[in-house]
Amino acid sequence: MALLTLALGGTAYADTITDSNIQFTATVTATTATLQIQCLTAACTSWYLGDVTLKGFTFTGTPTLGTAPSGYTLENGGQDNNGVGNGGGCNGTQTGSAVCWDATLPLGIQLGGGVLTFTANITDGSAGTLHVQATGYDNTAGDQTGGGKVFAVSDDLVSSVPEPSTLTLLAGGLIGLALLGRKSLA
């Protein structure tokens, strides 16, 4: 019964990908979009994180900032990975289907500080294939000249949670096995 309730209740979509030694994990529910970012090796510990976007889901209304590291604001829409800070990368495209956490300049968040968590409060969230965009720099200005940009990620995340229809089939199968087992015992 618990599985059936999970399958028919509020579904969370969770996806992950590792790119440039950085792990991105995202979840979307009806009310929250969450993106977690973690540096996995010493190579990226001193990189400054620029703007970050999660897309591949839909929502209604205007999203509001849940949590984010100091110096980030939330924008409705995506980014272009070609600018950072004060709206430079967050460009307002794809409203209602992307959220962008805009880093203010000078950049202050480095990837070596553990797991960075970004959340946005949304309404009527529904996910498909989640996609992350993020930029990183070797300087606090987010300067892209002279090799300042060390990464620009734009990738689909890989599903790590079964689709709702899979959970429904699993729950139905388990209930059927339980009923069959009950008949055998009688």
pLDDT band at 160 (very low <50, low <70, confident <90, very high): low
Domain definitions of the chain by residue range? 10-161
Verdict on whether the full-model pTM lies above 0.85: no
Q: Domain 10-161, what fold?
A: Immunoglobulin-like (2.60.40)
Each residue's pLDDT tens digit, 82-123? 767 555 688 888 999 999 999 998 999 999 989 999 999 999
Q: How far apart are CA 175 and CA 186, in angstroms?
A: 17
DSSP state letters, 73-87: EEEES-B-SS--STT
Each residue's pLDDT tens digit, 16-57? 999 879 999 999 999 999 999 999 999 899 999 999 999 999
Each residue's pLDDT tens digit, 164-185? 444 444 445 445 445 544 555 5
Residue 27 contacts residue 66 (beta carbons within 8 Å): no
Q: How far apart are CA 63 and CA 57, in angstroms?
A: 13
